[in-house]
């Protein structure tokens, strides 16, 4: 990702580059023109610094969100696995109880028949 640091000259914008070229070609720049060019360069550099800071903050925020998302996905997988295991255990216990009730019913009928 290109940064403003490499572009901190007047060439940050086309107007700045044009102004600087025009002053260099004429060779005769007034103090006011030089001051305006310097002011523009400083403003452009400050804007670049501000944008770089905002980009850094955005990257940090994105990294935190990605980290939080990964944690939530891991938690969701753990809950799904827990649910699956509990359901399997419940089905096994239910089957045992059903077998036990069937066995008790069978024995009760057998006793009645005797």
What are the pLDDT digits (tens) for 92-104?
A: 999 999 999 999 9
pLDDT at residue 72, as a whole number? 98
CA angle 35, 39, 41 (to 5 degrees): 120
- Residue-number span of the structural domain to which 82 is assigned: 4-113
Number of domains in the chain: 1
pLDDT at residue 48, as a whole number? 95
Average pLDDT over residues 57-86: 98
What are the pLDDT digits (tens) for 9-32?
A: 444 566 767 777 777 777 777 888
């Amino acid at each position: 990702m290109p940064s403003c640091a490499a572009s901190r000259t007047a060439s940050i914008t086309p107007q700045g580059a044009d102004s600087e070229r025009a002053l260099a070609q004429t060779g005769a720049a007034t103090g006011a023109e030089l001051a305006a060019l310097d002011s523009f360069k400083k403003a452009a550099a400050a804007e670049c610094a501000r944008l770089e800071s905002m980009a850094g903050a955005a990257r940090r925020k994105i990294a935190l969100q990605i980290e939080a998302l990964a944690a939530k996905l891991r938690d969701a997988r753990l809950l799904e696995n827990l649910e699956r295991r509990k359901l399997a255990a419940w089905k096994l216990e239910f089957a045992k109880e059903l077998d036990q009730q069937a066995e008790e019913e069978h024995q009760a009928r057998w006793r009645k028949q005797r």
